[in-house]
Amino acid sequence: MTELPRPRADLTGFGAYRTQQQAADVRVQANEWAEPNPAARWLTTDELRDVLLNRYPSGQAAAALRQALASEYGVGADQIILGNGSNELLLSTFLVFGGAGRTTLLFQPTYSMHARLAVIAGGTVAEELVGLPYELGVDQALAAVRRAQPAIVAITSPNNPTGNSVPGEVTLAIARAYPQMLVLHDEAYADFAGTTLVPELADHPNIVVSKTFSKVRAAAGLRLGILIAHPDLAELYRAAQLPYSVSAITLAVGLKMVRADDQIGARVERCRVERERIAAALATVPAVTAFPSVTNFILVRVHDGDSAAVHARFLAEGVLIRDISMWPGCAGCVRISVGTREENDRIIAAIDRVFDRAVA
């Protein structure tokens, strides 16, 4: 047998990132915005003709998008870094400020890619278990930092998979106590909650804030991420970033979205209404606990721990949810994203049958 090259020891047995991808009528496993958002809504035929695929993406186009985003967030254009999805920018964070001999502190359960990307970058991960309900306070956070002595602390707010916000004071307290430590504040879902720490960056230059077009901007397929940082830190990111990582079409669509998308507020409100409908249905099920959420998903703990069976029963009803029981601190848990109103009707009807309750 031919012996193949071996990866680094810490990547031996490292599997590919996968979400459940079974066929289903209602797909609410990935926290996407469910209503269609076609590219044709944003670029006319004439505008498409101006996007030249034989050329590398235009620096002017990237600059225009950075300036539009800077105006929206009230920061300088030199503080904006664009990436091929927020995960590219998260990986850059762990490459630049983490890596060999450096530790990233995570508060579990939280976004699974943070740990994965920290390890890919060559670093190690320290985990503080917050558990469920997910209630992270300043004292616990600072005590964990003292124990771990990390180079990076990552906080997701609102948190995935729990759906609730972490008080901004937690991130700020860490940043104040450890001014030479990088504090990553992941705001992928912040628009649903109406919260942000971007205004605090001027006084806390060791905080970097990541954002995405994949959630409330309804553009997961666009693959466009944003990171906001102190100008000097932003230059470090740009120095380490692969050239032309954001495509010409992505830049063109992204700019139109920032300039012309007037639906964000309406999406947030529709999400709230639909999330509350699903939460109300789950609240009538004695067999589960549905945790309060301010996002476009709900975390559900199955009391008997058999999340796989619940996942399978939903799938039999044509509804694909996500079994996250293997995530730290999430034993027996599933996560349900908010769909369209019609999809949510299917979810609510499925809840009665999945948990053996007759529909009135």
Average pLDDT of the chain, as a whole number: 96
Could you give the CA distance from residue 293 to residue 44 in angstroms, rounded to a whole number?
37
Map tokens 């995530």 to a residue.
327
List of domains in the chain: 9-30+264-354 (3.90.1150.10), 51-260 (3.40.640.10)
- Strand pairing class (297-302; 333-337): antiparallel
Average pLDDT over residues 330-354: 97
Q: What angle do CA 183, 62, 192 make, to 5 degrees?
A: 50
Please indicate, yes or no, whether the overall pTM of this predicted structure exceeds 0.85. Answer: yes
Q: Are 308 and 179 in contact (CB under 8 A)?
A: no
- Position 281 scores a pLDDT of 97
Beta strands in the chain (DSSP E): 26-27, 80-83, 103-108, 124-129, 152-156, 182-186, 207-212, 225-228, 288-290, 297-302, 319-320, 322-323, 333-337
- Position 359 scores a pLDDT of 42
19 pLDDT more than 80? no
- Position 165 scores a pLDDT of 98
Amino acid 4 reads: L
- Position 358 scores a pLDDT of 44
- Position 2 scores a pLDDT of 84
> pLDDT digits over 67-101, tens only?
999 999 999 999 999 999 999 999 999 999 999 99
Average pLDDT over residues 318-327: 97
pLDDT confidence band for 13 (50 / 70 / 90): confident
- Position 16 scores a pLDDT of 85
Give 22 or 161, the one with higher predicted confidence: 161
> pLDDT digits over 26-82, tens only?
999 999 999 999 999 999 999 999 999 999 999 999 999 999 999 999 999 999 999
> pLDDT digits over 264-303, tens only?
999 999 999 999 999 999 999 999 999 999 999 999 999 9
- Position 360 scores a pLDDT of 38
